[in-house]
A and B are shown apart, each in its own frame.
Chain A
Amino acid sequence: DGGITQSPKYLFRKEGQNVTLSCEQNLNHDAMYWYRQDPGQGLRLIYYSQIVNDFQKGDIAEGYSVSREKKESFPLTVTSAQKNPTAFYLCASSSGRDQPQHFGDGTRLSIL
């Protein structure tokens, strides 16, 4: 079954700690995206990557970093610089322009 796998499902961060959220897809999609979802709000774009070894900042990239070393993988690091990291993080991928984005089931990040 093709899809997007996000792990872990729940993650806790201590003060001053960096944490990395995993996103893997086996849909052979070129483009991948990270969104943040806060209660009662729409998804906001953190970073996106249209192709391997290339990625761009979205609307709320401060305090986050990404890498795209493989087509299948687009991990997101939430750094200690992100002062309000508690949120639901969603990874998505798409095959190209004007094609729907498909989402994983998210990682819920909380502060200890």
Chain B
Amino acid sequence: GESVGLHLPTLSVQEGDNSIINCAYSNSASDYFIWYKQESGKGPQFIIDIRSNMDKRQGQRVTVLLNKTVKHLSLQIAATQPGDSAVYFCAEKGRVNDMRFGAGTRLTVKP
């Protein structure tokens, strides 16, 4: 899961396995969430979003699950590939329509 601090949580998986990255969010009133992927030296790249009226949303090789009861968000990546290695952030909509970001989880895919 995500946390604030100098050391990012890390997840290491074997190529071809499924990855699950978790995120706890803070505001029970948040109604919009996004997962981003950030590669070294680049800006965050949109992966998938979900609104609070949904529990699950699927994209290409990715699934986001939202559990509003425990304020938990997860990103599942199927058949993880070396190109998936990056830092993954969850973000919740802030009060001024900005996004509030977690510190991120570093995913490493072993060949």
Contact = CB atoms under 8 A, between A and B. Distances in A.
Given A100-B49, A103-B44, A103-B45, A42 B102 contact: yes
B79 interface: no
B107 interface: no
Nearest to A6: B43
Given A42-B103, A43-B101, A48 B96 contact: yes
Interface stretch (B1-9, B12-20, B65-73): B1-9
B34 A40 contact: no
B97 interface: yes
- B interface: dominant SS: loop
A75 interface: no
Interface string A75-94: 00000000000000010101
Interface in B74-105: 89, 93-94, 96-104
A19 B51 CA distance: 38
Interface size class of B (residues with CB under 8 A): 20 to 34
A42 B6 contact: no
Nearest to A91: B43
Contacts of A101: 34, 46, 99
A98 interface: yes
Contacts of A40: 5-8, 103
Interface of B: 4-8, 31-32, 34, 36, 41-46, 49, 51, 89, 93-94, 96-104
Interface of A: 4, 6, 31, 33, 35, 39-43, 45, 48, 50, 56, 58, 90, 92, 94, 97-98, 100-106, 108
19 contacts: A31-B97, A40-B8, A41-B4, A41-B103, A43-B89, A43-B99, A43-B101, A45-B98, A58-B98, A90-B43, A94-B97, A98-B31, A98-B51, A100-B49, A102-B46, A105-B41, A105-B42, A106-B42, A108-B41
